[in-house]
A = this chain, B = another copy of it.
Amino acid sequence: MSDNIERIKLANNKYAEEFGNKSDLEIPPARRLAVLTCMDARLEPMKFLGLELGDAHIIRNAGGRASDDAIRSLVISTTLLGTNEWLVIHHSECGMERFTQEEMGKLLKERLNTIEGEFVNWLSISDRIESVKHDAMHIRNHPLVSKEIKISGYLFNTKTGELQEVITL
């Protein structure tokens, strides 16, 4: 067992002991909210948005990008579980700003001896304001997204903890 898993098992035993009435939460998000943001280890979206457990679906990937899979998740979120407001949140100092499509393909070829990396769209970011706008609009215009859903886009500042409003659609 790895060190990580050993520590996780101990921590989870403690968590389960103190679980209490969290088991009473309903499946549909209480605030009818879904949040799409980055996987970055420094982000705690529930806390920086002031959300409680049970309030919102939290979708996270590299960059917080509106990939087909993020849209799959959002469409399930509204169609089956009733969310009607979605937030797209990218952030400063994102790892996705530090490489290009070409560099990623090259790195993977060097390390894994495969050209498969060239066929993946890595969704790197060159301008974070533009990426938020692009992704919010991409979701807004998607054929599987109801026009009744409120969509807005934000940037989270990893140096100050502040959210900056970018777009409301």
Q: Are A59 and B39 in contact (CB under 8 A)?
A: yes
Q: Is A130 an interface residue (CB 8 A)?
A: no
CA distance A120 to B69 in the complex (A): 10
Residues of B within 8 A of A123 (CB): 72
- Say yes or no for A68: interface residue by CB 8 A criterion: yes
User: Chain B contacts of A46 at CB under 8 A?
Assistant: 44
A119, B104: Cα distance in complex, Å: 29
- Taking Cβ atoms with an 8 Å cutoff, the residues of A that contact B are 2, 4-5, 7-12, 14-16, 18-19, 22-23, 25, 27-34, 39-42, 44, 46-51, 53-62, 67-70, 72-73, 75-77, 79-81, 85, 87, 93, 95-96, 98-99, 104, 107-108, 111-112, 114, 116-117, 120-123, 143-144, 146, 150, 152, 158-163
